[in-house]
Amino acid sequence: MKKKLLIIDDDSFLTKSISSYLISEDFLVDAANNSSNIMHHIEVTKPDLIITDIMMPHLDGYDLMKKIRKSKISNTIPVIFLTAKGMTSDRIVGYNLGCNAYIAKPFFPKELLAIIKNIFKNLESISISRKANEKNLTSLSANKQSEKIVLSNLTSREYNIIILVSKGFMNKEIAHKLNISLRNVEKYVSQLLQKTDTRNRTELAKLALFADLKKKRANDGNRTRE
């Protein structure tokens, strides 16, 4: 899908020139030569990126930038300052207000194009990373819920054994503590590995700790089946 750009500059010749160039580079371009009602225009059209001058009548670029960043609708739209104000102090003000790039006039159109493409590339990388993190969180939540379901189906004896395994007790110690045979403990541990789909005692212990069995035990203290 083509990206929609908004150019704001009171120099109509410049806006037409930039618009023509960016349209030839496969962008959708909207232009405004008056900044008086520009915030309403921005919030209605919701451009993907804004290119604005600073020295304009009615509303200068700095004040416009403040309004853009305060608006819930436009606060994430990337903004490029394209201006004759090229002093370092001017650039610092622009970046402190939240602009994504600052280009001093006169400029090369190819430089503007490269900056625009780089901004969209960075935004895409952030979006991909965010989606991956959301997917991981969803997967983690699903795994945790699955573990709760598995653990809720344990018998009282299995429950006690998995708690002791999570505390690092060996089979002989568990047998002595629960006053059952070593063979029975081995049988229960084998059953627990199958029920919880874990490969060894270490994974079984991690599962028990992750699911916070101690708290769950207090809620299920009346369970007696084996």
d(CA 103, CA 204): 59
Q: How far apart are CA 181 and CA 174, in angstroms?
A: 9
Tell whether omega for the bond before 78 is within 30 degrees of 0, i.e. cis: no
pLDDT at 218: 46
Given 113, 129, 145, the domain boundary residue is 129
Residue 113 scores a pLDDT above 80: yes
Residue 192 belongs to a domain: yes
Q: Does residue 141 form part of some domain? A: no
Rounded-to-integer distance, Cα 47 and Cα 119, Å: 14
Same domain, 112 and 204: no
Specify whether 10 is located in the same domain as 88: yes
Q: Which domain holds residue 86?
A: 4-129
- The DSSP result for 9-65, as a single string, is -S-HHHHHHHHHHHHHTT-EEEEES--TTHHHHHHHH--SEEEE-SS-SSS-HHHHH
In a domain? residue 136: no
Residue 135 has pLDDT above 70, yes or no: no
Q: What is the pLDDT of residue 34?
A: 84
Give the pLDDT band of residue 205 (cuts 50, 70, 90). confident
pTM: predicted TM-score of the whole model, two decimal places: 0.60
Please indicate, yes or no, whether residues 42 and 111 belong to a single structural domain of this protein: yes
Q: For the chain, how many structural domains are there in total?
A: 2
Both 25 and 119 in a single domain? yes
The strand ranges marked E within the chain are: 4-8, 28-32, 49-52, 79-83, 101-104
Q: How far apart are the first and last CA of the chain?
A: 61
Q: How far apart are CA 207 and CA 97, in angstroms?
A: 48
* Greatest Cα-to-Cα distance within the chain, rounded to the nearest angstrom: 92
What value does the mean pLDDT of the chain take? Answer: 85
**Does 158 lie in the same domain as 124?**
no
In the three-class reduction of DSSP (H, G, I as helix; E, B as strand; rest coil), residue 148 is classed as helix
In a domain, 193, yes or no: yes
Q: Is the pLDDT of residue 224 over 70?
A: no
Last residue of a domain, one of 129, 164, 182: 129
In this structure, the answer to whether residues 81 and 185 fall within a common structural domain is no
In this structure, the answer to whether residues 75 and 172 fall within a common structural domain is: no
pLDDT in tens, 71-104: 999 999 999 999 999 899 999 999 999 999 999 9
Q: Which of 194, 210, 206, 208 is nearest to 161 (CA)?
A: 208
Residue 147 domain-assigned (yes or no): no
pLDDT of 14 strictly over 50: yes
Mean pLDDT of 103-108: 93
Residue 166 has pLDDT above 60, yes or no: yes
Q: What average pLDDT does this structure show over 177-196?
A: 88
CATH number of the domain encompassing residue 160: 1.10.10.10
Asked if residue 31 and residue 65 are part of one domain, the reply reads yes
More confident residue, 56 or 209: 56
In this predicted structure, the answer to whether residue 219 has a pLDDT above a threshold of 70 is no
Q: Is residue 168 assigned to a domain?
A: yes
**160 with 214, same domain?**
yes
Q: Are residues 115 and 38 in the same domain?
A: yes
Q: Does pLDDT of 156 surpass 60?
A: yes
**φ, ψ (nearest 5 deg) of residue 47:** -70, 160
User: Coil, strand or helix: which one is 5?
Assistant: strand
Token pair 């416009």 is found at 64
* Interval 23-51 mean pLDDT: 94
Tell me the CATH number at 48.
3.40.50.2300
Q: Where are the beta strands (DSSP E) in 53-178?
A: 79-83, 101-104
Residue 121 has pLDDT above 70, yes or no: yes
Residues 164 and 115 in one domain: no
* Degrees to nearest 5, angle at CA 170 with 165 and 174: 75
In a domain, 145, yes or no: no
